Amino acid sequence: MNTKNNDKFFMQQAIGLALKAKGNTSPNPVVGAVIVKNGKVVSSGYHRRCGGDHAEVIALKKANGEDIKGATLYVTLEPCNHWGNTPPCVDSVIESGISEVVIAIKDPNPLTNGRSINKLRSAKLKVRVGVLAEAAAAINEAFIKHVKFGMPFVVAKCAQTLDGKIAAASGHSKWITSSKTRDYTHKLRDEFDAILVGSNTVLKDDPGLNGSKKSKKIKKIVLDSGLKISKNASLFKGVDLNDCIIATTKRASPDKLKQFVSNGVDVIVCPDVKGRVDMKWLFKELAKRKILSILIEGGAKVIGSALKADLVDKMQIIIAPKIIGDDKALSSIVGMNVLNVNKAIELEKVNIKKINKEIMVEGYVLRNCRRNRSS
């Protein structure tokens, strides 16, 4: 195996390790590290949670007396160069006797960006950057977007019939998809900092918005411009109410607002756009609160508004092999007001996979398409 293939092989292992902690490290990135000597892995590690040891340090500690002088460290993200909850990793790497570091991507954080690479080279270590860079960036897209733009990474998900409906004209919607596919949704929630729905979804479906892991704290966010939902909604049951956020406007009843606040619910009174919560302002506020990733689960107006406001990064559309065939039935996305097909939102890097009987179409919202819509 040549050097290039070696690099990809061991970096892929590091990426696989990093993914073990997906959803558990926010606001930190997920990072994996592998130490290799004479073509063999002598140690490895990954960052498990915010505040815990970083991947490189864990791998060094796990080496447990192994002779790693002259070894190569493969790491998915540039080692940190600053004090935070833990000391700078770059110093530990230099002191370890490792002679070469292979890095997938630079850390976008200005406190580190390129500085650790320079420090490693100044200490006479060989450094290579860019191995499996695209794959390494993909596992940290929320962290990267937050650092670069001060906004959360947003995925909008909906489940619909073959003809694009999420409910019958009567409002009946349980269930469009199978139980196995709904289990997938519960597990998907574990990967996000927050789940967001509109007030109509709460009023009609009364979802719990829980993930599959009881140990994982997920923020539950409801867009409710007029503060219509009940304090007895299922999403408030069995959870820390501080993890429940209602985004409302000045239209909200002061008495009802006080009631939610006194119960411990986090209520954010947002500026409004035509009487509705200004989602762009809200998402900036959520990013300030270290909410790096949001899964929007509906309803149709909320997803449409988020797309129209240029807030959605990725779409997940689960299509069930069912047909409702009624023009009065509820569509999965509304409010876009597209009058020209050439102005429609397009997806790129599209991935299609089967989940039980259903099909999931996943893709990133095309940036050029966004610009065309606003022109």
What is the identity of the amino acid at 221?
Answer: I
**292 DSSP assignment:** -
Does the annotation mark 191 as catalytic? no
Distance between CA atoms of residues 217 and 214, nearest Å:
8
Q: Would you give the DSSP letter of residue 188?
A: H
CB 120, CB 279: distance < 8 Å: no
Q: What angle do CA 216, 222, 228 make, to 5 degrees?
A: 140
- Measured CA to CA, the distance from residue 299 to residue 189 in angstroms comes to 16
Helix axes 3-19, 55-62, angle to 10 degrees: 100
What is the β-pairing status of strands 32-37 and 40-46?
antiparallel
Token output for 226: 């007029």
For residue 135, which of 77, 80, 189, 192 has the smallest C-alpha distance?
77
Exposure string for 193-227, b = 16+ CB within 10 A, e = fewer: bbbbbbbbbbebbebebbbeeeeeebbbbbbbbeb
Of these residues, 56, 78, 191, 297, which one is catalytic? 56
Q: Comparing C-alpha atoms, which of 326, 331, 299, 329 is closest to residue 171?
A: 329
Distance between first and last Cα of the chain: 51
- Amino acid identity of residue 339, one-letter, is L
Task: Tell me: cis bond preceding 175? Omega within 30 of 0 counts.
Answer: yes
Please identify which residue in the block is written with the tokens 């004090």. Answer: 83
**Residues noted as catalytic:** 56
